[in-house]
Amino acid sequence: MAESKEFDPRPWYLLAPSMLAIIALVVIPMSFILVYSFYENIDLAIDRVAFQFGNWQELLTDSYYHTAIWKTLRLSIIVTVLAAVLGYIPAYFIAMTKYRHKWLLLLLLILPFWVSFIIRTLSWIHIMGNQGAINGILMWLGLTDTPVSMMFNEFAVIVGFIHVFLPYMILNIYVSLEGIDENLEPAARTLGATPWQAFREVTLPLSLPGLAAGSLLVFVLTGGSYVTPLILGGPGDFLFGNLIYDAVVVELNWPMGATLSFTLLVLLGLVVALYSRLMGMNQLSKAFG
Amino acid sequence: MARVDLKNIKKSYGAVQAVKQADVTFEEGSFTTLLGPSGCGKTTLLRMISGLETPTSGDILVGGKRVNDVPIHKRNLGLVFQNYALFPHRTIGENIAFGLKYRGVSKSDTATKVTEALDIVRLPGVEDRYPTQLSGGQQQRIALARAIVIEPDVLLLDEPLSALDANLREDMRVELKAIQHRIGVTSIFVTHDQSEALAMSDKIIVMSAGRVEQVGAPEEVYNNPASEFVASFLGASNILEAKVISKDAKNIVLDAPHFGKIPVPLAQAQRMGDAPSGKLVIRAEKLRLADKPGDTNTVSANGVVEAVDYQGQIARYFVRVGDIQLQALNMIESRPFAIGAEVSVVLKTADCALLPAGA
């Protein structure tokens, strides 16, 4: 058994290409961004190379940024929870159906990815806008004389996020459900559990890993977004990502943009790290059992 | 404990008739096996009793009460699956206690019952482990413990031994039968393995293509098969087609190719009726190979050994007799017959069963 203690380089050969790619495409660019956050912005698009903490000081002291972090956290939680609830039902259906062409249902789930995410987001204007489908039907039915305002508010942003991120949630839960032994629910039933009890005691806890993975994905994707609030939100519906967009594209203040970008990376990275640590240590599935 | 009656049960999936017709009784406290090849409807029958499937027509009675419309969780049946179906996120103790909490059993009683159940399946002290920490055979014992701890009216076993390896399977079948005998629960066992069925059952129900072929005690089904299917499914049988030449008070006399006249006692020919020809079923172990023809009570034909399947104490011979090949399973007395040996194939007519040509 002495041989096994010797250094075996073979796994590293296999890992090397992807590790090099990560270093070249993630670690090095992010280091540049970190360096850039210490530069000083003098005027529009004019930066001075420096090592000063002005940008970081602004971030820590200006409550505008803290509000954005809070808003982002809050909205990400809302979207994640709603997506989890709304995603579980179709995932359960697809996993349990005896329909022979199950692949068709999965294809339907992936189909929206063939249309640009911006176009899918914009489509809500035609559905929920003042001249949109819903208001058209309401007014035609005579339920209302003036259009009901549904667009350009937080509600529209949430709808847009769920629309775009739901398939990620459904697929993750589906994979988890699909891996559960199909005899477990019948076993619980014969032992005296009602259909609901069998679901709650057996299927739900065993599908938690998928639910957790889908939730993390949706949370991180929402937390890092800026396009959806830009298209569907009102002036007050900005996320942290929008501040980065404003700093870089509108104010042409790249050092501040770099500071904000790095902050978002650290915050979301922290969520992922905490989450996986929690998952790994307690095995969420057992904790809920 | 309760008896189970299936009355005129039929089950179709669309155009496919999984169970064409079943009228059977499972006696209180008995161990009954549903035996047949895959797709014969035996598992469907079991799942209908458990409530996991609904019959297309017919009645299911447990303890004399019709249960067709009783939901699964109120039937009080213990079901053991082929793949154990233990809850992987629960400990062994929690798995076994699962059914008890729906029966309002107190915490202290639950602990006692779990310990007792583990003693019955001879795996004491594993309460705190998880199913994946146990071997396949141990997991199946836990599945059994989980099913019997709720004191079910009927214990349903769906090929519970098929996933185990050969040696373990034989140990488990002895043990399973012993446990069933001890607790006396009405048990319905589904298998495609004839030796399991013969070894364990009080009664065997042989099924084929959605129908019940024969119902009877193991010896009866084995020695007096009701059809060629039953004869060939249980053990190795030789089938000789023969014409009836005459019939008297004691025997039906047949004319079989190569063997000539064979007088079959009426006791072995109860299913014959007045059929003009029949099939003589001879178990492989009842066909004896000899160097010279036997005495006057036997019938024999000359053959040549074509293949030998040597198994130590016994050997399975494949013998060519004219245009037919026969199988003989014989104890080896001094040394086995060699391939190419010319032998006399001897059968005792009292060991044969005669079926009418169509069966």
Same domain (yes/no): B264, B222: no
A286 touches chain B (CB under 8 A): yes
Query: Exposure of B22 by Cβ count < 10 A (0-12 exposed, 13-18 middle, 19+ buried)?
Result: buried
Sequential DSSP letters for A72-99: HHHHHHHHHHHHHHHHHHHHHHHHH---
A97: left (phi over 0), alpha (psi -120 to 50) or beta: beta
State mean pLDDT over B230-240: 89
How many domains does chain B contain in total?
A: 2
CB of B234 closer than 8 Å to CB of B192 = no
The CATH number of A62-287 is which of 1.10.10.10, 3.40.640.10, 1.10.3720.10, 1.20.1640.10?
1.10.3720.10
pLDDT of residue A93: 95
The residue among A173, A256, A216, A282 whose CA lies nearest residue A80 is A216
Model-level ipTM above the cut of 0.90? no
CB of A130 closer than 8 Å to CB of A183 = no
State pLDDT tens for residues B171-224.
889 989 999 999 999 999 999 999 999 999 999 999 999 999 999 999 999 988
* Residue in B closest to A181 by C-alpha: B85
How far does A184 lie from chain B, in Å, by closest CA? 5
pLDDT of residue A275: 87
To the nearest whole percent, how much of chain B has pLDDT over 90? 62
CATH number, domain containing residue B253 = 2.40.50.140
Domain boundary among B197, B228, B259: B228
Is B246's pLDDT higher than 60? Answer: yes
pLDDT of residue B163: 86
SS3 assignment, position B93: helix
Is B144's pLDDT higher than 50? Answer: yes
State pLDDT tens for residues B155-177.
999 999 988 888 888 888 998 99
Local mean pLDDT, 10-residue blocks, chain A (289 residues): 69 94 95 94 87 93 94 96 97 91 91 92 92 92 88 94 95 94 95 96 94 93 94 92 94 94 94 82 43
A284 touches chain B (CB under 8 A): no
List chain B residues with CB under 8 Å of A201. Answer: 87, 98
**Band of pLDDT at residue B1, cut at 50, 70 and 90:** confident
Q: Strand ranges (DSSP E) for B36-191?
A: 57-62, 65-66, 77-80, 154-158, 186-191
Mean residue pLDDT across chain B: 91
Per-residue DSSP letter, B148: H
pLDDT of residue B295: 63
* Residue in A closest to B151 by C-alpha: A191
Give the domain extent around B150: 4-228
B85 compared with B332, residue with greater pLDDT: B85
CB of A119 closer than 8 Å to CB of A199 = no
pLDDT of residue A254: 93
Going across the sheet that includes B277-283, the strands are: B260-265, B251-256, B237-247, B277-283, B353-356
pLDDT of residue B294: 61
Is B292's pLDDT higher than 80? Answer: no
pLDDT of residue A286: 41
State pLDDT tens for residues B317-357.
999 998 899 999 999 888 888 898 888 898 888 888 888 88
* β B314-321/B298-310 pair status: antiparallel
pLDDT of residue B31: 96
- Rounded to whole angstroms, how far apart are CA atoms B127 and B65? 36
Radius of gyration of chain B (CA): 24
State pLDDT tens for residues B347-358.
888 888 888 887
B286 compared with A89, residue with greater pLDDT: A89
Domain boundary among B228, B257, B277: B228
CB of A19 closer than 8 Å to CB of A11 = no
* Residue in A closest to B89 by C-alpha: A286
Say yes or no for a CB contact (<8 Å) between B98 and A191: yes
How far does A288 lie from chain B, in Å, by closest CA? 10
The residue among A240, A228, A229, A225 whose CA lies nearest residue A69 is A240
How many beta-carbon contacts under 8 Å exist across A and B?
68
Terminal Cα distance for chain B, rounded: 37
Is the torsion defined by CA of A15, A21, A24, A28 positive or negative? negative
How far does B89 lie from chain A, in Å, by closest CA? 6
pLDDT of residue B191: 95
Residue A223 CB partners (closer than 8 Å, separation 6+): A72, A73, A76, A239, A240, A241, A264, A267, A268, A271
From the CB of residue A201, how many other CB atoms can be counted at a distance below 10 Å?
Answer: 22
A179 touches chain B (CB under 8 A): no
Residue A98: phi and psi, rounded to 5, are -95, 5
Same domain (yes/no): B244, B109: no
- Rounded to whole angstroms, how far apart are CA atoms A187 and B72? 10
B275 compared with B40, residue with greater pLDDT: B40
State mean pLDDT over B110-135: 94
How far does A209 lie from chain B, in Å, by closest CA? 12
Mean residue pLDDT across chain A: 91
State pLDDT tens for residues A70-93.
999 999 999 999 999 999 999 999
Domain boundary among B202, B228, B254: B228
Same domain (yes/no): B88, B189: yes
C-alpha atoms less than 13 angstroms from C-alpha of B334 in its C-beta half-sphere: 2
SS3 assignment, position B310: strand
